[in-house]
C-alpha cells in the first residue's frame, strides 16, 4: 500500500498545474467576456481554441484514453489526479485538454467497439478536437435510471436503420460543433431486458434530427448545454450500429466506469477550488473586529471541508485503482459509492464557500454558484444517488445470504 504518486504522474500534475496557472485561470474572465459579447450561449469563443492549442503543445491532450493505440496510455489512477486538477476550472480545462464529457465516453466506446470505418469518420476528428459529440440515452418521459424503461427505437429496414425517439440531457447537443450522436434505443423489444437495446451513430445533420431546446440548469445555460433532441424517422446506414444488435446495455456499462471516475475527480477539483476561495475570503473579510477566519463556525467549515474532500478523493482513487487492477466488475461497489460520496462532499464544501462569500457567493462575482450547480447536477446525472446506494446495498447484502460464495 502506497499513497504516493508515480514519477510520471507527478510530472504530468506539475505540467498541468503550470498550464492552469499560466493559461486557464487567466482565461476564465476572457472566456466570460467573449461569451457575453457574443450574446449566444452556443458561441465558440476564440480563447477556447487558444487554450486547446496550448494544452496540446504541452502534451496535455487526450490523456483520458487508457490504451496506447489512440490515447496516452495512462491508467485510470494516473489520469484521475489530472482530471481532478482540470475540474478546478470545469468550463475550460477539460475542453482545453480534449477531455470533456460526453466526448470522452464517446471516444472510449468508439475506440473499443467502433469499426475502422466508424473510427475514421468520428473518432479521429474527435481526438483532434475538431468536432464534438453527444450521447442520447435518457428520455424525458420515463424513469431512465431503470434503463429497461428506455423507449427510443432502432428498427432495421433493408440496409438502413430507422431511429426514433426523444432524448434529453444530451450534453453538448445544442452546439453547432456537435456533429454526431450516439443514440441508444430498442432493437428487439422481445429480447430479455439486458439485450433489448443497441447503440447507433447518428450524424446531427441527418434529416429528422432536431434539437428542440437547450435545458437550463438552475438558471444556467452554458456552451453546448443539455439538449432535448428529437429523432424522427432518422435513417442511417446499417453500418452505423455500434457493436452488435442487443449490445447497447453492455456498451453503456463499459462506458460508465471510467466516466464515473472522471466526473468524480473533476467534482473533487471543484471542491478544492471552492475550498481555496473560501479560505481566501475568510482571511480577508472582517466583522465585529476580527476576520471571519477567526470565527469558530467558519473554522469548522474549513476543517470539515478538508476532512470530507480528503475522504472522497481517496475513495475515488481507490475505485480507479480497482478498475486498473481487477476491472470494472471487481470495482462495482466502489464505482457506485463514489457517485454518491464525491458530489456530496463537493456540494457541501461549495455551499459553505458560498455562505462564506455571502452575496458574492450566490451571484456571478465568484464561480461558486455555478460550481455548486454543476456538482448538484451530478447527484442526478448518470443515475440518482438513491439508485447507486441500492446497488451498493444489494451487493453488500449478498455476502450475508446463505450459500453465498465470493466470486
Q: Which is nearer to a second copy, 128 or 404 (CB)?
A: 404
- Give the span between the Cα atoms of 350 and 172, in whole angstroms: 25
**Distance of CA 363 to CAs 24, 144, 220, 348, 371, Å?**
21, 32, 12, 18, 12
Closer residue to a second copy, CB minimum distance, 158 or 400: 400
Sign of CA dihedral 72, 78, 84, 85: negative
Nearest approach, Cβ of residue 392 and a second copy (Å) = 4
> Of 110 and 293, which has the nearer Cβ to a second copy?
293
Which residue lies nearer to a second copy by CB, 118 or 355?
A: 355
Q: Give, in order, the Cα–Cα distances in Å from 281 to each of 263, 298, 369.
A: 27, 11, 15
Q: The C-alpha cell of 324 is what?
A: 486498473
Between 124 and 286, name the residue whose CB sits nearer to a second copy: 286
Task: Write down how long the chain is.
Answer: 407
Residue 121 or 339 having the CB closest to a second copy: 339
What is the chain's alpha carbon radius of gyration, rounded to the nearest angstrom? Answer: 22
If we measure between CA atoms, which residue out of 9, 254, 305, 272 comes closest to residue 109? 254
Q: What are phi and psi of 330, to 5 degrees?
A: -70, -15
- The whole-angstrom separation of Cα 170 and Cα 381 is 11
* Residue 404 CB, nearest approach to a second copy (Å): 11
Rounded distance, CA 11 to CA 266, Å?
Answer: 19
Question: SS3 for 16?
Answer: helix
CA distance 125 to 315: 34
Our CB check for a second copy shows the closer of 197 and 240 to be 197
Q: Report in angstroms how near the CB of residue 8 gets to a second copy at its nearest.
A: 12
Least separation in angstroms between residue 96's CB and a second copy is: 23
What's the number of CA atoms in the CB half-sphere (13 Å) around residue 21?
6
Q: Rounded to a whole number, what is the largest CA-CA distance in the chain?
A: 79
Q: Which residues contact 343 (CB under 8 A, 6 or more apart)?
A: 264, 267, 375, 376, 378, 379, 385
Closest separation in Å from C-beta 343 to a second copy: 12
**What H or E segment, with its residue span, contains residue 236?**
strand 226-237
The least CB distance from residue 182 to a second copy, in Å, is: 18
Shorter beta-carbon distance to a second copy: residue 131 or 142: 142
Cβ at position 315, least distance to a second copy in Å: 5
d(CA 370, CA 65): 28
Closer residue to a second copy, CB minimum distance, 35 or 340: 340
CB of 155 to a second copy, least distance (A): 25
CB closer to a second copy, 26 vs 218: 218
Smallest distance, a second copy to C-beta of residue 78, A? 9
Q: Rounded to the nearest whole angstrom, what is the least distance from the CB of residue 3 to a second copy in the complex?
A: 5
**CB distance 35 to 225 below 8 Å:** no
Measured CA to CA, the distance from residue 126 to residue 82 in angstroms comes to 20
Amino acid at each position: 500500500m502506497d499513497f504516493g504518486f508515480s514519477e510520471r504522474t507527478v510530472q504530468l500534475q506539475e505540467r498541468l498545474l503550470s498550464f492552469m496557472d499560466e493559461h486557464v485561470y487567466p482565461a476564465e474572465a476572457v472566456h466570460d467576456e467573449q461569451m457575453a459579447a457574443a450574446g449566444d450561449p452556443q458561441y465558440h469563443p476564440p480563447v477556447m481554441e487558444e487554450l486547446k492549442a496550448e494544452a496540446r503543445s504541452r502534451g496535455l491532450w487526450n490523456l483520458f484514453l487508457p490504451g496506447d493505440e489512440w490515447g496516452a496510455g495512462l491508467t485510470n489512477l494516473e489520469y484521475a489526479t489530472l482530471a481532478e486538477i482540470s475540474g478546478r476550472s470545469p468550463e475550460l480545462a477539460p475542453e482545453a485538454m480534449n477531455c470533456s464529457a460526453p466526448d470522452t465516453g464517446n471516444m472510449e466506446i468508439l475506440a473499443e467497439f467502433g469499426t475502422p470505418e466508424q473510427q475514421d469518420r468520428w473518432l479521429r476528428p474527435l481526438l483532434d478536437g475538431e468536432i464534438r459529440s453527444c450521447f442520447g440515452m435518457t428520455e424525458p418521459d420515463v424513469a431512465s435510471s431503470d434503463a429497461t424503461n428506455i423507449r427510443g427505437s432502432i428498427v432495421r429496414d433493408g440496409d438502413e436503420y430507422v431511429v426514433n425517439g426523444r432524448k434529453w440531457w444530451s450534453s453538448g447537443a445544442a452546439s453547432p460543433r456537435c456533429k454526431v450522436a450516439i443514440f441508444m434505443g430498442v432493437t428487439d423489444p422481445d429480447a430479455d431486458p439486458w439485450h433489448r437495446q443497441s447503440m447507433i451513430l447518428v450524424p446531427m445533420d441527418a434529416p429528422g434530427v432536431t434539437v428542440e431546446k437547450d435545458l437550463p440548469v438552475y438558471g444556467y445555460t452554458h456552451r453546448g448545454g443539455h439538449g432535448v433532441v428529437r429523432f424522427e424517422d432518422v435513417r442511417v446506414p446499417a453500418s452505423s450500429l455500434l457493436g452488435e444488435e442487443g449490445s447497447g446495455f453492455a456498451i453503456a456499462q463499459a462506458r460508465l466506469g471510467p466516466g464515473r471516475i472522471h466526473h468524480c475527480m473533476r467534482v473533487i477539483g471543484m471542491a478544492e477550488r471552492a475550498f481555496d476561495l473560501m479560505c481566501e475570503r475568510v482571511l480577508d473579510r472582517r466583522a465585529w473586529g476580527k476576520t471571519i477566519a477567526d470565527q469558530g463556525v467558519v473554522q469548522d467549515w474549513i476543517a470539515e471541508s478538508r476532512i470530507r474532500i480528503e475522504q472522497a478523493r481517496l475513495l475515488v482513487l481507490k475505485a480507479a485503482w480497482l478498475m486498473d487492477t481487477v476491472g470494472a466488475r471487481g470495482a462495482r461497489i466502489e464505482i457506485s459509492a463514489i457517485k454518491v460520496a464525491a458530489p456530496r462532499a463537493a456540494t457541501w464544501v461549495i455551499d459553505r464557500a458560498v455562505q462564506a462569500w455571502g452575496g458574492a457567493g450566490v451571484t456571478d462575482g465568484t464561480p461558486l454558484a455555478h460550481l455548486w450547480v454543476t456538482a448538484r447536477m451530478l447527484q442526478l446525472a448518470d443515475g440518482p444517488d438513491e439508485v447507486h446506494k441500492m446497488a451498493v446495498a444489494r451487493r453488500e447484502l449478498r455476502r450475508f445470504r446463505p450459500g453465498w460464495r465470493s466470486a
